[in-house]
Chain A
Amino acid sequence: MALTAADIKQIAHLARLNIAEHDIPLYTEQLSRIVDFVEQMNAVPIDFSTLISASDEPNTPLRADTVTEIDQRELLQSIAPHTAAGLYLVPSVLDDKTPKDIDYVE
């Protein structure tokens, strides 16, 4: 399956990768080969649901609803580039269309 330059740009956008215009032909060719290989694997007749249900441990393990983690904010934030008042700071994700109290999960 041949990908187009537009596909590469869209994939780069979704992955938040900034790629140079002159690299696009190379990525187009390499990614197309990867997709071809995946299609080759897809052609192998395997029922993945059977594989999962045939495993030794078919059920996901469950844990009791107890609090086992302690507050390690200082340690965990030690590798963050920017923090303030206990918050991780990132470049502003607010634009003029976004209300300031935006708070939702997709």
Chain B
Amino acid sequence: MNWETVIGLEVHVQLATKSKIFSGAPTAFGAEPNTQACAIDLGFPGVLPVLNREAVNMAIKLGLGIQASIEKKSVFARKNYFYPDLPKGYQITQHDLPIVKGGHLDILLEDNSIKRINITRAHLEEDAGKSLHDTFPGSSGIDLNRAGTPLLEIVSEPDMRSAKEAVSYLKALHSLVRFLEICDGNMQEGSFRCDANVSIKRPGDTKLGTRAELKNINSFRFVEHAINHEIQRQIDILESGGKISQETRLYDPDKDETRSMRSKEDANDYRYFPDPDLLPLTLTDKQIQEIKSTLPELPQEKHQRFLDQYHLSAYDATVLMSSRALADYFESVVAIVSNDHAKLASNWVAGELAAALNKDNIDITDSRISANTLGQLVLRIADNTLSSKTAKTLFEALWLDGGDVDQLIEAKGLKQVTDTKAIQALVQKIIDDNPAQVADYRSGKDKLFGFFVGQAMKESGGKLNPQQLNDVLLETLNQNR
């Protein structure tokens, strides 16, 4: 039977402020338990929350980044529920009047088409603490360092129709918050967390099916697994005559399954009311304009410019856009090699360099090869000094020990052979050494051509210009065919 999947995502983005949203306690990750939780975070009697200006500015940046409406008046409410990691017994969050309404993100689909995902809202709130269940028998340990860390919860419309679309949206949002420098995007440390609302319905049905909310899906890979697993679970239930119950399910990455969880509050009865300790947040056009003037070029604008200016494929542009630093690095390389060789530069940045960074687990900002050096290397490929093979050898040497591109080419003898006579002499030697293969090739075994290319490259240490070698080989081999 045919089913259509409907997915909406709620993403909690930890804002990269130095201090908490309502207190002056630090937000740095990894501190000793409870050393960064002050009386305000702990909800001691008599304390008052005061809103962090930078958290507000970051929310405005996100709103501008998704072409949303920045609300001139937003209100903080208390969301009441009992859980040990929520010391006040309520979470301060924006409910009826969030700071950001509407907006959208365009995502790239597998067939290279663009789909617009609408965003419902984004609101400011405080994070809860953490519970540790394993260490003390019969007890849970509570670390409240994270309590009060500013969060921006970004809620999408149920516009996604597959797990892959959900991952694309999540990646686009991840890229955006890092471009805007409002979040470090570290999913392992919980700086960027995703809940997914998943339901299925018959194609054409206007009414949405009953949804399940999936929590705890904190990597791009898990998002896809968790959603696909949940879709199959719902299909199995409906096709065997059952009914989906609205519930919260938790994804267990170890078992690759979702399972029903006890809710933090039985009846979602959060008894919201405006927080009497906080006046409404009002913004002026001037404030919003000031922040707008500080915005960097946004990922979608940059993506389009990469297509227009450098004639990259949508895929290449997307890879380079995975972080602002990588995109900046690429543009620094292009500044050296010129737009004519932008595609070649893109191949090296998104290919060899990205792989090396990944392998050694290094961020682009700490790359062992500077954009300037990689630019010199690409230039030497472009002017035929290096073949792709010798360029890789040089790249490895630069990555391990650094050095000057031209000096290393000389010192390591990596210069590509482009002298036709030298290539002809080497080709003749290969032909003389392999009479049986030559006879076979000339009698019609065209596939042997690769064998001769391989022998010539082996003999020369990979230094022959591939195109020239092909031409000379073809000419020589076909002489007596």
Whole-angstrom distance from the CB of A61 to the nearest CB of chain B? Answer: 6
**Would you call A20 an interface residue if the criterion is a C-beta within 8 Å of the partner chain's C-beta atoms?**
no
- CB contact between A52 and one of B55, B140, B279 (< 8 Å): that residue: B279
Residue of A nearest to B255 (CB): A99
B residues 260-295 in Cβ contact with A at 8 Å: 260-262, 264-267, 269-271, 278-282
Q: Which residues of B contact A76 (CB under 8 A)?
A: 34, 37-39, 42, 44
Q: Which residues of A contact B56 (CB under 8 A)?
A: 62
Interface size range of chain B in the complex: 35 or more
- CB contact between B282 and one of A58, A92, A101, A105 (< 8 Å): that residue: A58
Residue of A nearest to B143 (CB): A87
B residues 56-86 in Cβ contact with A at 8 Å: 56, 73, 76, 79, 81-84
Q: Mask for A1-15, Cβ within 8 A of B = 1, else 0?
A: 000000000100110
**Contact assessment for B261 and A93 in the assembled complex, using a CB-CB cutoff below 8 Å:** no
**Contact assessment for A98 and B261 in the assembled complex, using a CB-CB cutoff below 8 Å:** yes
**Contact assessment for B136 and A89 in the assembled complex, using a CB-CB cutoff below 8 Å:** yes
Whole-angstrom distance from the CB of A25 to the nearest CB of chain B? Answer: 23
Q: Chain A contact residues: over half helix, strand or loop, or mixed?
A: loop
Whole-angstrom distance from the CB of A13 to the nearest CB of chain B? Answer: 7
**Would you call A57 an interface residue if the criterion is a C-beta within 8 Å of the partner chain's C-beta atoms?**
yes
Question: How long is the Cα–Cα vector from A66 to B50 in the complex, in angstroms?
Answer: 12
Whole-angstrom distance from the CB of A106 to the nearest CB of chain B? Answer: 5
Q: Which residues of A contact B271 (CB under 8 A)?
A: 14
**Would you call B51 an interface residue if the criterion is a C-beta within 8 Å of the partner chain's C-beta atoms?**
yes
**Would you call A26 an interface residue if the criterion is a C-beta within 8 Å of the partner chain's C-beta atoms?**
no
**Contact assessment for B139 and A71 in the assembled complex, using a CB-CB cutoff below 8 Å:** no
**Contact assessment for A87 and B282 in the assembled complex, using a CB-CB cutoff below 8 Å:** no
Q: Chain B contact residues: over half helix, strand or loop, or mixed?
A: loop
Residue of B nearest to A72 (CB): B38
Question: How long is the Cα–Cα vector from A16 to B32 in the complex, in angstroms?
Answer: 31
Residue of A nearest to B56 (CB): A62
- Interface-side segment among B16-24, B233-241, B346-354, B417-425: B16-24
Q: Which residues of B contact A63 (CB under 8 A)?
A: 24, 50-53
B residues 1-39 in Cβ contact with A at 8 Å: 12, 17-19, 23-26, 32-39
**Would you call A23 an interface residue if the criterion is a C-beta within 8 Å of the partner chain's C-beta atoms?**
no
Question: How long is the Cα–Cα vector from A29 to B44 in the complex, in angstroms?
Answer: 33
Q: Mask for A27-69, Cβ within 8 A of B = 1, else 0?
A: 0000000000000000000000000110101111111111111
**Contact assessment for B141 and A87 in the assembled complex, using a CB-CB cutoff below 8 Å:** yes
Whole-angstrom distance from the CB of A77 to the nearest CB of chain B? Answer: 7
**Would you call A103 an interface residue if the criterion is a C-beta within 8 Å of the partner chain's C-beta atoms?**
yes
**Would you call A73 an interface residue if the criterion is a C-beta within 8 Å of the partner chain's C-beta atoms?**
yes
- CB contact between B33 and one of A66, A85, A106 (< 8 Å): that residue: A85
**Would you call B180 an interface residue if the criterion is a C-beta within 8 Å of the partner chain's C-beta atoms?**
no
Q: Which residues of A contact B35 (CB under 8 A)?
A: 71, 73, 86
- B139, B151, B281 interface centre (most CB from chain A within 10 Å): B139
Q: Contacts A66-B19, A103-B216 given: A59-B281 contact, CB under 8 Å? A: yes
Question: How long is the Cα–Cα vector from A76 to B40 in the complex, in angstroms?
Answer: 11
Residue of A nearest to B275 (CB): A60
**Contact assessment for B19 and A87 in the assembled complex, using a CB-CB cutoff below 8 Å:** no
Residue of B nearest to A65 (CB): B54
**Contact assessment for A89 and B140 in the assembled complex, using a CB-CB cutoff below 8 Å:** yes
Q: Which residues of A contact B32 (CB under 8 A)?
A: 73, 86
Question: How long is the Cα–Cα vector from A58 to B75 in the complex, in angstroms?
Answer: 12
**Would you call B130 an interface residue if the criterion is a C-beta within 8 Å of the partner chain's C-beta atoms?**
yes
Residue of B nearest to A89 (CB): B139
- A14, A91, A104 interface centre (most CB from chain B within 10 Å): A104
Question: How long is the Cα–Cα vector from A16 to B24 in the complex, in angstroms?
Answer: 31
**Would you call B172 an interface residue if the criterion is a C-beta within 8 Å of the partner chain's C-beta atoms?**
no
**Contact assessment for B34 and A87 in the assembled complex, using a CB-CB cutoff below 8 Å:** yes
Q: Which residues of A contact B81 (CB under 8 A)?
A: 106
Whole-angstrom distance from the CB of A55 to the nearest CB of chain B? Answer: 7
**Contact assessment for A67 and B141 in the assembled complex, using a CB-CB cutoff below 8 Å:** no
- CB contact between B133 and one of A13, A60, A73, A102 (< 8 Å): that residue: A102
**Would you call B478 an interface residue if the criterion is a C-beta within 8 Å of the partner chain's C-beta atoms?**
no
Q: Which residues of A contact B33 (CB under 8 A)?
A: 85-87
- CB contact between A90 and one of B24, B139, B215 (< 8 Å): that residue: B139
List 29 interface pairs A-B (beta carbons < 8 Å), by A numbering. Answer: A13-B266, A14-B269, A14-B271, A52-B280, A53-B280, A60-B278, A60-B280, A60-B281, A61-B279, A65-B52, A65-B53, A65-B54, A67-B24, A67-B25, A67-B26, A69-B19, A76-B38, A84-B136, A85-B33, A86-B34, A87-B33, A87-B135, A87-B141, A88-B144, A100-B133, A105-B91, A105-B151, A106-B91, A106-B265
The 8 lowest CB-CB distance pairs between A and B, nearest first, are: A68-B24, A87-B141, A65-B54, A86-B33, A62-B53, A69-B38, A60-B279, A88-B142
